[in-house]
Chain A
Amino acid sequence: MNEATPPKEERTAALSGLGTSRKRVEDARFTQGKGNYVDDLKMPGMLFGDFVRSPYAHARVKSIDTEKAMALPGVHAVLTAADLEPLGLHWMPTLAGDKQMVLADGKVLFQAQEVAFVVADDRYAAADGVAAVKVEYEELPVLVDPFKAESDGAPVLREDIADQTEGAHGPRRHPNHIFTWESGDREATEAVLAEADVVAEEMIYYHRTHPCPLEPCGCVASMDKVNGKLTVWGTFQAPHAVRTVASLISGIAEHNIRIISPDIGGGFGNKVGVYPGYVCSIVASIVTGVPVKWIEDRSDNLMATAFARDYWMKGRISATKDGKITGLHCHTTADHGAFDACADPTKFPAGFMNICTGSYDIPTAYLAVDGIYTNKAPGGVAYRCSFRVTEAAYFIERMIEILAIKLGMDAAELRVKNFIKKDQFPYQSALGWEYDSGDYHTGWDKALKAVGYEDLRKEQAARVEAFKRGETRMLLGIGLSHFTEIVGAGPVKNCDILGLGMFDSCEIRIHPTGSAIARLGTISQGQGHATTFAQILASEIGLPAEDITLEEGDTDTAPYGLGTYGSRSTPVAGAATAMAGRKIRAKAQMIAAYLLEVHDNDLEWDVDRFVVKGSPERFKTMKEIAFASYNQAIPGVEPGLEAVSYYDPPNMTYPFGSYICVMEINVDTGTTEIRQVYALDDCGTRINPMIIEGQVHGGLTEALAIAMGQEIAYDEQGNVTTGTLMDFFVPTAVETPNYQTDYTVTPSPHHPIGAKGVGESPNVGGVPAFSNAVHDAFRAFGLTQSNMPHDHWRIWKTAQSLGLHD
């Protein structure tokens, strides 16, 4: 038997476990057009729903005339708030403790708000019906500037709660004020700032943008009145949470609701929330007795579903003369739109914005965030980032650059001087987090060497001289960024959404012949969970990844979990997978001991088998144990080989990285050319390097979009001026550069396999890298701060304002 046992390395390789660039199992169906997205669903008798939307940002709804629409061929129903009110469904709870109109209840509060829901034979008939509904509006004054929300004469937006002085997150000081959230020591911070050698002060605006997944949001709701079961297929990043919310607001018992997330065409945070389309489809299915599909179009998606960012961050940072940072103060004005529909853990109405001390050892800090209502779409989701972490990273990485200018120091040197040191981990931040592990200096040095930082600075200095001599119109920017993320929400003790603790889960069944199925509480939207989670399991239980099916997204079969967003799948569900695998292995050890007639403790695990210590020829492979679990009567051991783990993480994880962008800027046209992007990530243990690299490429491209042109902009009347892909910038292959990726590995000490999550790092680190490159190019000419997105026009204006066109 011993002779037949292949060497350890060979058996390990056969598993395609941790650290393998395993090709994706999802790709067979996606490359052959056999994905199963929600709009691919077709059911007998299915109807199609579409919305009448408000053309105004703020108006009273005087009347809604549905008569003509109802008379059209193929139109079955037109729902308005009046129809939903008897069911108590004309408003719905948001994830942030506020409530939101499902259909306009007396007034509209943002352009494209849902006013009526037309249900018809197909999408064409529904569009006819939408066009035939007549709505009479009376326009009201519009509030788009959050800084004017509390001024005299500001229109009161939320009349429903105008008198409430207490909101879900504490006192409200004005009808348009949602909450004030504080973190850190205000007095101590003010004292440090007052006595500091140097204080840099700046307003950093992170503009409103949108996750814009390529597949818009949608669902098919099917109420089976015979069996009393409601099934909803939809673009849900958190199917179990949707089930619970649907049960609570509809009164349908939770076991009679089945939520299914089929293949999802990208989410990036946009598909976390609950939208009026879901509620209306469910009601319409109940009313009509047949399945009802709702699929939004691109403009609906950009104008009405959850936006991201829109944080005005007023910062003050202090330091000693030689550049040791002593304090940080941040006041943020957060524009939440018409309803507070942020997707944040309950106790964190500004998400994890208090990670804004970043990668630096800042002894004293204070943060306050004021949430404000405006006549804009609701949302505030984490667009490819953990809750508000990209805002925090952008803030601190800009403040560092601005402080470097004030100190007359090199920005890389200033970072090195203030990084949290390797031996300071676990590190307690001034704003209350415990960073699990890190080694910032090593990655940073590697990054600077990789791009030839010193030579770049020399080249830049020479370029500035050449520019001044009139020999070139091109400037060179070196964009530095060192980010620290906080992901993997999160510990149930302080993280919940609507009272649901943010643990996650994995359930494993081993089949008699030694293959397996694992089900998780998360849901992939392109991250490749079916590939990578099978790899985690392969390494834990010694069965090849290719023999493990992974299933997510069906609440009738998957264990309860809080879903996929905020880079939480690997830190939380990935941990649950490893832990469930360890339970399988523990039982397998008992079975092997029985079969080999030894004590449990006499066995040791060896890749894919239990071996009797000191007798390598005596072993049982996991495959053999699996079969035995189904056909041996073992005293004291139940038949079968299954396990489930619900994992409540003890802490968040803190991925980090060093990103550098080298950019050429044409002063006369404002156009930019990206010469180099180097991205070094440390996401702890690496599960699948190919997929990590793919995530970094994608996240960097979304960061490029946000920094260089992508925004949801409003005019003074509250009209969205970027509501199509003509105006809303999504980079093509032409604008997108090639990326150079690199890594270090600092495992998380509390995660079972040491993994930290990576999907969102490139967005969090990328935005400051691109933006800092633009700012850095103009540093020699006196620029300290300009607002994103840095499109050609804004860059041209910056050059103009600095007198570079004179």
Chain B
Amino acid sequence: MEKMHVKMNVNGKEVDLLTEPRTLLIHALREELGITGPHVGCSSSHCGACTVDMNGMSVKSCTVFAAQANGAEITTIEGLGSPDALHVLQEMFKEHHGLQCGYCTPGMITRAYRLLQENPNPTEEEVRFGIAGNLCRCTGYQNIVKAILEAAAKMNEIKESA
């Protein structure tokens, strides 16, 4: 199959991929760019393990063609924080035991990141609705919700003190 160029900005870096038109964004990220944080859980947009941020929106990268991301800005879990400077959400997920097997976690945190950009002061109900596209089989969500609410509070504190 004839390949095509796809240019994206992924986690702040410009990349130029030569890939098949049918390549899904999740596979371009995982297999061609070695960004293995986002995972594949269902291949059908239900589970959200593959969630990445694309042009300021959460997308399920298992049902987006890489070609559709041409020119896009992509942020994955790898772009949210670094070992020396974790994102508040990453800290709060650990603090409140918001993960167990870790498979949903990159997608869940990436989704929570966008949710808090859109709504910095969510209620518990809004958090639950806002992450309803991301399934977790281990935690029962209670501690995930707690972690996101705490992260929102901390992010607002940081904003206020700045």
Q: Report which A residues bind B (CB closer than 8 A).
A: 23-24, 26-35, 37, 39-40, 42, 122-124, 212-216, 263-266, 268, 295, 297-298, 525-528, 690-691, 693-695, 697-702, 724-726, 730, 732-734, 736, 738-739
Given contacts A33-B38, A298-B42, A724-B46, contact A736 B100 (CB under 8 A): no
- Nearest Cβ in chain B — how far from A687, in angstroms? 14
Chain B hits for A34, CB < 8 A: 37
Q: Which residue of A lies closest to B20 (CB)?
A: A124
Chain B hits for A736, CB < 8 A: 128, 140-142
A24, B94: Cβ atoms closer than 8 Å: yes
Consensus secondary structure, chain B interface: loop
Chain A CB within 8 A of B40 CB:
yes
Given contacts A27-B93, A30-B105, contact A214 B100 (CB under 8 A): no
B140, A528: Cβ atoms closer than 8 Å: no
Chain A hits for B67, CB < 8 A: none
Chain B hits for A298, CB < 8 A: 41-44, 46-47
Contact partner of B137 (CB less than 8 A), chosen from A31, A528, A698, A734, is: A698
Q: Report which B residues bind A (CB closer than 8 A).
A: 20, 22-23, 27, 30-31, 34-44, 46-47, 49, 76-78, 81, 83, 86, 90, 93-95, 97, 99-106, 109, 127-129, 131-145
B128, A213: Cβ atoms closer than 8 Å: no
Chain A hits for B128, CB < 8 A: 732-734, 736
Contact partner of B103 (CB less than 8 A), chosen from A29, A214, A690, A726, is: A214
Docked Cα-Cα span, A701 to B109, in Å, equals: 20
A739, B39: Cβ atoms closer than 8 Å: no
Chain B hits for A732, CB < 8 A: 128, 131-135, 141
Give me 14 A-to-B residue pairs in the complex whose CB atoms sit less than 8 angstroms apart, sorted by A's number. Answer: A23-B94, A32-B37, A32-B86, A32-B90, A33-B76, A37-B103, A40-B30, A42-B34, A213-B103, A214-B103, A265-B102, A297-B43, A298-B44, A693-B97
B103, A124: Cβ atoms closer than 8 Å: no
A265, B94: Cβ atoms closer than 8 Å: no
Docked Cα-Cα span, A528 to B95, in Å, equals: 14
- Nearest Cβ in chain A — how far from B32, in angstroms? 10
Docked Cα-Cα span, A295 to B39, in Å, equals: 12
> Which 5 residue pairs spanning A and B have beta carbons closest together?
A33-B37, A526-B101, A30-B102, A265-B103, A697-B140
A31, B109: Cβ atoms closer than 8 Å: yes
A31, B132: Cβ atoms closer than 8 Å: no
Q: How many contacts between A and B, using CB within 8 angstroms?
A: 178
B99, A724: Cβ atoms closer than 8 Å: no
Given contacts A216-B41, A733-B128, contact A697 B137 (CB under 8 A): no
Consensus secondary structure, chain A interface: loop
Contact partner of B97 (CB less than 8 A), chosen from A24, A40, A266, A701, is: A24
Residue of A42, A527, A528, A736 with highest tally of chain B CB at under 10 A: A736
Chain A hits for B20, CB < 8 A: 124
Contact partner of B90 (CB less than 8 A), chosen from A31, A528, A694, A724, is: A31
Q: Which residue of A lies closest to B109 (CB)?
A: A31
- Nearest Cβ in chain A — how far from B28, in angstroms? 12
Docked Cα-Cα span, A212 to B104, in Å, equals: 13
Docked Cα-Cα span, A697 to B141, in Å, equals: 8
Contact partner of A724 (CB less than 8 A), chosen from B44, B77, B132, B145, is: B44
Chain B hits for A691, CB < 8 A: 97
Q: Which residue of B lies closest to A705 (CB)?
A: B137
A730, B83: Cβ atoms closer than 8 Å: no
Chain B hits for A215, CB < 8 A: 39, 41, 101, 103
Chain B hits for A212, CB < 8 A: 137
Contact partner of B40 (CB less than 8 A), chosen from A31, A39, A690, is: A39
Q: Which residue of B lies closest to A688 (CB)?
A: B97
Chain B hits for A124, CB < 8 A: 20, 22-23
Docked Cα-Cα span, A32 to B81, in Å, equals: 7
Contact partner of A739 (CB less than 8 A), chosen from B27, B42, B140, is: B140
Chain B hits for A738, CB < 8 A: 142
B47, A33: Cβ atoms closer than 8 Å: no
Docked Cα-Cα span, A728 to B16, in Å, equals: 39
A733, B94: Cβ atoms closer than 8 Å: no
A265, B46: Cβ atoms closer than 8 Å: no
Docked Cα-Cα span, A325 to B120, in Å, equals: 57
Chain B hits for A734, CB < 8 A: 128-129, 132
